[in-house]
Amino acid sequence: MTTPAAALVAAPATLRRAGADPLRQAVEHLGHSLPERADSTVLLDFLEDDLREGLEALGDVEAHFADVLEALQPGMLSSLSLLQAGDDYLVLQRLELLIDVVTRVRRRLSQAAGLMRQTSTT
């Protein structure tokens, strides 16, 4: 079963071959609103990387919960399966990463807003 976050992470690679990457298109759309400067380009690159990293981590967290739900199914239910499903250190690491990524995205969007204001006032 493909989860929504996993689909967002997987879609760009698939769509890139067809020439349409929704995440890149969104970042490029923002880029049209920013001044054509090196710092804008760097900001957009970092924002795109952060968004991809966050969506990938979100997909891992979502996959963890799908694994937990699977472990609770009648044919899978056992003490061992419950312990294995609940003992996923990776998901805790991914949640910590998500907190960091959300903070970085927030900062980068604030920087982009500032650059947009500079463009509209000049």
26-42 pLDDT tens trace: 999 999 999 999 999 99
Predicted TM-score of the model (pTM): 0.76
CB 115 within 8 A of CB 34: yes
Residue 3: CB partners within 8 Å, gap ≥ 6? 59, 62, 63, 66
Per residue of the chain (122 residues), what is the pLDDT tens digit?
455 555 555 554 544 455 689 999 999 999 999 999 999 999 999 999 999 999 999 999 999 999 999 999 999 899 988 898 888 888 999 999 999 999 999 999 999 999 998 876 65
Separation between Cα atoms, residue 12 and residue 14, nearest integer Å: 5
- Rounded (10°) CA dihedral 6, 8, 10, 15: 160
Q: Where are the beta strands (DSSP E) in the chain?
A: none
